[in-house]
Amino acid sequence: MPYQDFWEKDTLHYTGQGKEGDQKLTRNNKKIVEANPDNLTIHLFESFVKGKNIYRGIVYLSNNPYTVSELDANHNYRLVYKFPLTIKNGTGELPLSMVQRHKIQQEKHLQKLPHSKL
């Protein structure tokens, strides 16, 4: 699972760009860090079903980015950036059924991984 985003209240811990190898603060990752001081607006869309995006609202970087170790697209551990993005104005909570379907999809993906990668 190359991208393992998660929510804490109204803050999304968004995984940076790059599916393989250690991520770097370049390209879009750098743009997120520079968005607040440069007064750039970040619009958040989420996708729980392939081809369907849900607009969640405008977000801002609410804390410093940090790194964690996660599996990449080849099932190798690597460092990824997490960006705490907090909603300024949004569309509220997602339907529970959509969140539950997404969780089931994630669990199925994890079941396919070799035990050495868990």
**What's the pTM value of the predicted model, to 2 decimals?**
0.74
Q: Is the pLDDT of residue 29 over 90?
A: yes
For tokens 């370049």, the residue is 26
Single out the residue of 17, 53, 56 nearest to residue 33, CA to CA.
17
Q: What beta strand segments (E) does 1-118 contain? A: 6-8, 11-15, 42-49, 52-61, 66-71, 77-90
Q: How many CB atoms neighbour CB 65 within 10 A?
A: 18
pLDDT bucket at 110, cuts 50 / 70 / 90: low
pLDDT tens digits for range 38-87: 889 999 998 877 888 888 889 999 999 999 999 888 889 999 999 999 99
Positive or negative CA dihedral for 8, 99, 73, 43? negative
